[in-house]
Amino acid sequence: MIKNKAIAHYIAKITGTQPTVLRFQTDEKAFIDIVSVTEHGDDKLNVHSTIGLSARKTNEENRDIELMLVAEKKYDLAPNILASGALKAMLEGWQTVTGAIYAHIFSAYYPNVEVKHGLLIPPYLWKDTLKTLDLGDRMVQWKMIVPITDQEANYLRNNAPSSLLPLFVEKDINLFDLGRESVV
């Protein structure tokens, strides 16, 4: 529990202010805690991070990872989306590696959005400040879930995950708006 508090405080210090923590639990009694903060530089964005996923070694590739999601505040189900991804990783073995696609993770909560899926990438917004957190028994790193469309998911099946990010930059899209259109 103390280590989970350290994760929550670290995320709040690096990414935002006004932290709140919610617990999401399944019928199987599995649970994940999510810390949510208002982003330092933009009060229209919330940053959400899992707390404690890194303690659950789902397999060797998935160890020591916490997941993050940044979304505009109007998307109030963003913590639920992140919790679903974390619980799928814990209970169903969903990968927590760069390039993993979480199918229908956004459309499960917002059925009418174009960005139905989630792509795991390094948290580029804080590349200079969000470092590996040494908790003694584990070295915590983060992966950020960014929303992608069906077309973008298909594009990624034929191209490297890093090939989509330059298209996002070129088209100057708002990655935190679940209502955005596809770049491919």
CB 146 within 8 A of CB 162: no
Say if 176 falls within a structural domain: no
The angle subtended at Cα 111 by Cα 50 and Cα 18, nearest 5°, is 35
User: The domain containing residue 162 runs over which residues?
Assistant: 2-171
Asked if residue 121 is part of any domain, the answer here is: yes
Q: Identify the pLDDT of residue 59.
A: 55
The closest alpha carbon to 31, from 96, 78, 77, 87, belongs to 87
Confirm whether 154 is domain-assigned.
yes
Q: Is residue 184 part of a domain?
A: no
Please name the amino acid found at residue 80: N
Q: What is the pLDDT along the chain (184 residues), one digit of tens a residue?
A: 678 888 888 888 888 777 899 999 998 779 999 999 987 777 889 999 999 999 886 555 557 899 999 999 999 999 999 999 999 999 998 999 999 999 999 999 999 999 999 999 999 888 888 888 889 888 899 999 999 999 999 999 999 888 999 999 999 999 999 999 999 9
Our count of domains for the chain comes to 1
Position 67 in a domain? yes
177 in any annotated domain: no
Residue 183, domain member (yes or no): no
**Is 16 part of a structural domain of the chain?**
yes
Q: What's residue 126's pLDDT?
A: 84
Q: Are strands 16-25 and 31-39 parallel, antiparallel or unpaired?
A: antiparallel
Give the whole-angstrom CA distance, residue 142 versus residue 131.
Answer: 9
Q: What is the pTM of this model?
A: 0.91
